[in-house]
Amino acid sequence: MLAEALPYIQRFRGATFVIKYGGHAMLDAQLRESFAQDVVLLNAVGIKPVVVHGGGPQINQLIERLGLKSSFVRGMRVTDEATMEAVEMVLQKLNKEITALISRQGGRAVGISGKDGDLFFARKLLLEDETAGPVDIGLVGEVVEINPGVIATLQDAGFIPVVAPVGHDREGQTYNINADVAAGEIAGALKAAKLILLTDVEGVKDEKGQLVSMLEAERAKKMIASGSIGEGMIPKVECCMEALADGIGAAHIIDGRVRHALLLEVFTNSGVGTEVANQPAAARRTSRASGNPKGD
């Protein structure tokens, strides 16, 4: 693996990778440790990782203890005032835990939220339903302005930024921002070489249940329209496509339940999970077969 990794290390030295961290990888002690090791190793070989984390399972646990109800629309959590307080409480706690975890592995991490340095300005998100029209899901926000200077400043000082996905509007109202969407916005703003989303599934699967290793953006749109890509995967695939449109190098959806999945995706020819690309899949397979690093 070390020999196979060399061309990727050489190609991506100095590049930014935005990594969305969430799901089971945050709950299992061994997976937490291996994730932190992966991030620190990326940083040690000259890659600049930015971690954007979720906290769905932990948020669900607190909401249940508080006697609140959870519901989702197209993978987005319906968020009232009480739920927003619970979300922010959990995310801030997790943010510091992840920062400390990376630091224990030898990294220098700093935790921030979308409110710090006005990283995210957000507004209320209204989802469109084909039959019912706009759907109000509460204090869920969409990013209308991103100011990545605070991240760039931390990177220039040698720190690994760890971002909690909450933002606010110019009047100070706090919004819950989907972590996949937040990661995609940051990747686009930084013109990252890679956007990598850790999930609790192998990757994107087709209508036959088979893993799609390389997914062209046009095919992804058709799969969403047909329902082949369902609820929780929709925002992940959409944010990959939006980040590609913003000029990032490549987007990946990988299985965070696999130890060192991040290194396997970044530093091996075959990779794991699904790569979402603008380029037709056949052309990218030819590129990989010729030995060119992923992301070309």
pLDDT digits (tens, 9 = 90+) for 27-43: 888 999 999 999 999 99
What's the pTM value of the predicted model, to 2 decimals?
0.88
Q: Would you state the pLDDT for residue 197?
A: 94
Average pLDDT over residues 206-212: 85
In this prediction, residue 129 has a pLDDT band, given cuts at 50, 70 and 90, of: low
pLDDT digits (tens, 9 = 90+) for 60-94: 889 889 888 878 877 778 889 999 999 999 999 99
pLDDT digits (tens, 9 = 90+) for 232-283: 788 888 889 999 999 998 899 998 898 999 998 888 877 778 998 876 544 4
In this prediction, residue 284 has a pLDDT band, given cuts at 50, 70 and 90, of: very low
Asked if residues 13 and 47 have their Cβ atoms less than 8 Å apart, the reply is: yes
Given a cut of 50, whether residue 293 has pLDDT beyond it is: no
Q: Which domains does the chain have, with CATH numbers?
A: 2-289 (3.40.1160.10)
Q: Would you state the pLDDT for residue 92?
A: 95
Average pLDDT over residues 127-149: 84
